[in-house]
Amino acid sequence: MLQAWMWLVGAIVFEVLGTTAMKMSEGFTKTMPSVAMGVFYILSLTALTYALKKFDVSMAYAIWSGVGTALITLIGIWYFKESVSVVKIASIGFIIIGVVGLHLSTKVH
């Protein structure tokens, strides 16, 4: 089971790196971030596929997308200097609550 969690964490990390590279590619005008984006997304989906051997797809996808969204929002605020508001922070909190709720309601294989 630990291995499945490691695959899922890896999938999240690679998805966040891919999305960050997407922003840095400036609409595919920068070669290295554009290539990195593709590589990171392939790695992310590969790792997610391995995680799905042990997790229900609903839970794994919710964790992958929810945690990824929360992390990208924080990176956007911190690194890309995007705006921050109470609504944005509260929304991240709701995502986390939803992910935890799905995890608590799902049996692991």
Is residue 109 pLDDT above 70, yes or no?
no
Is residue 72 pLDDT above 70, yes or no?
yes
Is residue 108 pLDDT above 60, yes or no?
no
Per residue in 3-53, pLDDT tens?
A: 999 999 999 999 999 999 999 999 999 999 999 999 999 999 999 999 999
What value, to the nearest 5°, has the Cα angle with vertex 40 and ends 90 and 17? 35
Give residue limits of the domains in the chain.
Answer: 2-104
Report which of 60, 21, 58, 55 is spatially closest to residue 41, judged by C-alpha positions: 21
Q: What is the pTM of this model?
A: 0.89
pLDDT at 45: 98
